[in-house]
Amino acid sequence: MRDIYEAAERQSATLAMFIEHLARRRGWSARTLSGMIMGPEVQPGVNRDGPRLMMIYGASVLLPYGRAASFIPARMPRVDGETWMIEVKRSDGVSRPQWNGGIAVQKRNGSYVLAFGSQVLDEAALASLLEALGTP
């Protein structure tokens, strides 16, 4: 269980940095948001250290026409213990299929990756997501 917490910490930081980079390339203002969460409780044979404070990262992007988009990580993993969701929302309440599913930190082929729908999130997919978010 601790693996997903550490993966969410690393992957959410990576995602926030990429969002900032791609948004600024478009001339949009962006900033990284961070918060602290408590890691998992002690589980015999799994983790001996006990809970620790962990940083989790999100991002906020100022879009054209006075709107904003936020990428906000969930407070804890899903019940499967191998998925951590990052919600994507626009400030005006508009919701479209391109981003409704959010972004997931998921275990695939033995390692944790950022996933967008059924594909691994790459720079092109993230750029496309930002484009969709910026469309009126």
- Domain residue limits, the chain: 2-134
pLDDT digits (tens, 9 = 90+) for 51-90: 778 899 999 999 999 999 999 999 999 999 899 999 999 9
Q: What percent of the chain has pLDDT over 90?
A: 79
**What's the pTM value of the predicted model, to 2 decimals?**
0.88
Structural tokens at position 116: 């967008």
Alpha helices in 26-122 (DSSP H): 97-100
CA–CA–CA angle 60, 64, 26 (5° rounding): 75
